[in-house]
Amino acid sequence: MGDRPGAECRWRAGVPAVSEAAEFAVGFIGLGNMGAPMAHRLTDWPGGLVVCDMRPDAVQPFIDAGAKAAETPAELAENCRVVSIVVLDDAQVRTVIAGPDGLLRTAKPGTVLAVHSTISDRTAAELAAECATRGVEFVDAPISGGAPAAQRGALAIMVGGSATAFEAVREPFGRFGSLVIHAGEVGAGTRMKLARNLLHFVAFTAAAEAQRLAEASGLDLAALGKVVRHSDSHTGGPGAIMLRKTTAPVEPDDFWFPILGHVRDLGEKDLSLALDLASRLNIDLPLAQRALHDLGDGLGVGPGPLAKEHS
């Protein structure tokens, strides 16, 4: 299940019976680059860990560490109260949950199936409805932080599902995540992950634009990268301004207005200077131009004089 669709899991072993007590067994399907370090954090889970993956070499280290292994998702679900799923895409998730040897063949009412893969929120809603017909809880629980955070138990986990399901998964998820957020109903976890990754990849695109300007200016790009990582580690990067509960315009007498107005003024100044430099170097910076135009409105305080000057 780790990297290819339609795969079955290997090995078969007995596992403790499902219990409503705290020491319930946890299942883990998909032991790839992300799944393996997450599952390793559960090898000493009090109720036992059951793993499932198509590749014997992925499963064996978990058997050596004391985990049990199941041949198929259906076999795994026989005795696990919570099941984490880390596979490639929507199609694999559907196969693992609702396929011929899927979890729903044997999952008992009250079992929680948690998908950590980033899938469509519509797929999450459809699978949740199918699970509900069997009395099974579904949560979409995408993760952020990458394999290094998984190894340290420091992932951010965004959970979409019922309050009951969230309570069931909070403790096992806390083994591989240092921030476990209940984002809301099913699908909310996925929507939060998509918003988070929107920022991530737009920022990557902005970083590429910044590098073009730096390179044209004759700067050392590796040194620039060091400066960016150093300063972001102190300022928090873009997340530092994500403190309000709304994107509505900020009233002039609001606590946030002078703070965000100051951020806008600094940003417009620096963006204007960067765009002036780019013009002299004959470098096109479309993201910088858009940022100068949109920064004030995005912060909720409206454009400043420099943005109006360049509009």
pLDDT digits (tens, 9 = 90+) for 48-77: 999 999 999 999 999 999 999 999 999 999
Report residue 93 CA to chain centroid gap.
Answer: 16
Its domain, for residue 98, covers: 26-192
Q: Residues 68, 108, 193, 245: which is the catalytic one?
A: 193
Alpha helices in the chain (DSSP H): 35-40, 56-64, 73-77, 90-98, 121-132, 146-152, 163-176, 188-216, 221-235, 256-281, 286-299, 305-310
If asked whether residues 162 and 300 sit together in one domain, one would say no
pTM attached to this predicted model: 0.87
CATH, residue 36: 3.40.50.720
If asked whether residues 153 and 291 sit together in one domain, one would say no
CATH, residue 275: 1.10.1040.10
For the stretch 68-123, pLDDT in tens is 999 999 999 999 999 999 999 999 999 999 999 999 999 999 999 999 999 999 99
Decide if 308 is catalytic.
no
Compute the distance between CA of residue 208 and CA of residue 205 in angstroms, rounded to an integer.
5
8-state DSSP, 240: G
